[in-house]
Structure 1
Amino acid sequence: MKWALVIVHNSAGAKLWFSDGEPIGAVRGGSESSHRLIIDKQGFIDITLPYSSLPSFIDLNNTATMCPEGLVNINLTLPGDGSFSFFITPSIPVHFTGTLKPLPEVSDDDASFLNEMIDSCYVPYQDIQGAPGKDVAEIKALGLRHFPFSPHSFQMAMAVYDWTTASFARMVLMKIFEYTSIPSIPYPLDSPSVATAIWESNWGSYVPSNKFYMNSFMMKPASTLQDVQDQLHDVEARLQRFSTVQNRLLGAAFAAMPRTSIFHAPQLFSGQLDMSQLNLDQFGIEMLECPLNAGPTSQSLTVSFTAAMATFVKVGSIITTKMVWSFADSIDIAKHYQNGLILVVNPPDNDSWVWDGASYITPLSDDPEKNEYTFAPGTSFIVESLDVRDIDEDERNKSVQFLTLKLHVPGSVRDSRTPSRPPLNNIPARRSSGPKSNHHLTNKTGGRRCHCVDDAERN
Structure 2
Amino acid sequence: MWCLKEVKSSFKLWFSDGEAINATRFEIGVSYRLIVDQLGFLDLVEIPGQLLNGVIANDELLSVPLDDADTDGLMNLSLCVDETSGYVLTYMDSAVKTGPNTRSPEPISVSGKFKPLPSVSAADAAFLDTMIKGKYVPYPKIPDAPGKTIEELKQLGQKLFPFTPYSFQLAVCVYDWTTASFTRMVFMKIFEYTGIPPQPFPIDQDSIAAQIWASNWGTYNPQDEAYMNSFMMKPSHSKDDVKAQLRSVAADLHKLSHVQNELLSVALQALPRTSIFQHSQLFSGQVDIYQLGLSHFGIEFLQCPLNDGPVGKELVTAFDDVLASYVSTGETITTKMAWSFTDTVDDGMHYSNGILLVANMPGNSSVWDHVAYVTPLSDDPKKTEYTFPPGTNFEVQSTTKATIRGKSTVVITLKPLPSKKQQTGVLSSNREYTMANISALSPNESNDYLKKASPRMLDGNQVVKAINSSTAAPSLPHTLHKTGGRRCACEEGTW
TM-score range, shorter chain: over 0.9
Amino acid at match of 2:388: F
2:492 to 444, 455, 458: 455
- Distance in 2, Cα, partners of 1:204 & 1:365: 19
- Distance in 2, Cα, partners of 1:104 & 1:261: 20
In the alignment, is the contact (CA less than 8 A) between 2:275 and 2:367 conserved in 1? yes
- Distance in 2, Cα, partners of 1:391 & 1:159: 35
In the alignment, is the contact (CA less than 8 A) between 1:268 and 1:327 conserved in 2? yes
Give the aligned partner of residue 90 of structure 2.
Answer: 87
Matched, 1:56 2:69: no
1:73-222 paired onto structure 2 within 5 Å: 73-81=76-84, 83-92=86-95, 93-222=107-236
1:413 to 428, 440, 445: 428
In the alignment, is the contact (CA less than 8 A) between 1:286 and 1:322 conserved in 2? yes
Amino acid at match of 1:195: A
Give the aligned partner of residue 439 of structure 2.
Answer: none
In the alignment, is the contact (CA less than 8 A) between 1:261 and 1:354 conserved in 2? yes
Change (3 A) 1:437 1:313: closer
In the alignment, is the contact (CA less than 8 A) between 1:42 and 1:82 conserved in 2? no
In the alignment, is the contact (CA less than 8 A) between 1:254 and 1:358 conserved in 2? yes
Change (3 A) 1:259 1:50: farther
Please state whether the residue corresponding to 1:221 is helix, strand or coil. Answer: coil
Amino acid at match of 2:166: H
Once the 2 structures are TM-superposed, how far is the Cα of residue 347 of structure 1 from its aligned partner?
Answer: 2.1
Please state whether the residue corresponding to 1:247 is helix, strand or coil. Answer: helix
Change (3 A) 1:109 1:214: same
Once the 2 structures are TM-superposed, how far is the Cα of residue 308 of structure 1 from its aligned partner?
Answer: 1.1
Percent identity of paired positions between Structure 1 and Structure 2 = 47
Change (3 A) 1:141 1:82: farther
- Distance in 1, Cα, partners of 2:7 & 2:475: 44
- Distance in 1, Cα, partners of 2:312 & 2:220: 29
Amino acid at match of 1:3: W
Matched, 1:380 2:393: yes
- Distance in 2, Cα, partners of 1:60 & 1:253: 21
2:312 to 272, 281, 298: 298
Give the aligned partner of residue 2 of structure 2.
Answer: 3
- Distance in 2, Cα, partners of 1:25 & 1:191: 54
Once the 2 structures are TM-superposed, how far is the Cα of residue 412 of structure 1 from its aligned partner?
Answer: 4.9
Once the 2 structures are TM-superposed, how far is the Cα of residue 448 of structure 1 from its aligned partner?
Answer: 4.3
Once the 2 structures are TM-superposed, how far is the Cα of residue 188 of structure 1 from its aligned partner?
Answer: 0.3
Please state whether the residue corresponding to 1:51 is helix, strand or coil. Answer: coil
Which is worse superposed, 412-421 or 239-248?
A: 412-421
Please state whether the residue corresponding to 2:199 is helix, strand or coil. Answer: coil
- Distance in 1, Cα, partners of 2:211 & 2:194: 19
Unaligned runs of 5+ in 2: 96-106, 437-445, 459-469
Amino acid at match of 2:94: S
In the alignment, is the contact (CA less than 8 A) between 1:270 and 1:326 conserved in 2? yes
Change (3 A) 1:103 1:444: farther
- Distance in 2, Cα, partners of 1:443 & 1:416: 46
Once the 2 structures are TM-superposed, how far is the Cα of residue 94 of structure 1 from its aligned partner?
Answer: 2.5
2:22 to 15, 20, 25: 25
Once the 2 structures are TM-superposed, how far is the Cα of residue 50 of structure 1 from its aligned partner?
Answer: 4.0
- Distance in 1, Cα, partners of 2:278 & 2:475: 22
- Distance in 2, Cα, partners of 1:19 & 1:432: 36
- Distance in 1, Cα, partners of 2:482 & 2:168: 21
Matched, 1:231 2:245: yes
Once the 2 structures are TM-superposed, how far is the Cα of residue 433 of structure 1 from its aligned partner?
Answer: 4.3
Matched, 1:337 2:351: yes
Please state whether the residue corresponding to 1:28 is helix, strand or coil. Answer: coil
In the alignment, is the contact (CA less than 8 A) between 2:3 and 2:76 conserved in 1? yes
Change (3 A) 1:82 1:162: farther
Once the 2 structures are TM-superposed, how far is the Cα of residue 184 of structure 1 from its aligned partner?
Answer: 2.1
Please state whether the residue corresponding to 1:91 is helix, strand or coil. Answer: helix
In the alignment, is the contact (CA less than 8 A) between 2:179 and 2:483 conserved in 1? no
Change (3 A) 1:443 1:89: farther
Matched, 1:356 2:365: no
Give the aligned partner of residue 428 of structure 1.
Answer: 456
Please state whether the residue corresponding to 1:451 is helix, strand or coil. Answer: coil
Once the 2 structures are TM-superposed, how far is the Cα of residue 391 of structure 1 from its aligned partner?
Answer: 3.0
In the alignment, is the contact (CA less than 8 A) between 2:352 and 2:487 conserved in 1? no
Unaligned runs of 5+ in 1: none
Once the 2 structures are TM-superposed, how far is the Cα of residue 23 of structure 1 from its aligned partner?
Answer: 0.7
- Distance in 1, Cα, partners of 2:407 & 2:386: 25
CA RMSD of aligned residues (A): 2.0
- Distance in 2, Cα, partners of 1:363 & 1:52: 28
Give the aligned partner of residue 410 of structure 2.
Answer: 401
Give CA deviations for 1:60-103 in whole Å, capped at 9, x if unaligned: 00101222441111111111126111111322512311110010
Once the 2 structures are TM-superposed, how far is the Cα of residue 311 of structure 1 from its aligned partner?
Answer: 1.2
Matched, 1:16 2:13: yes
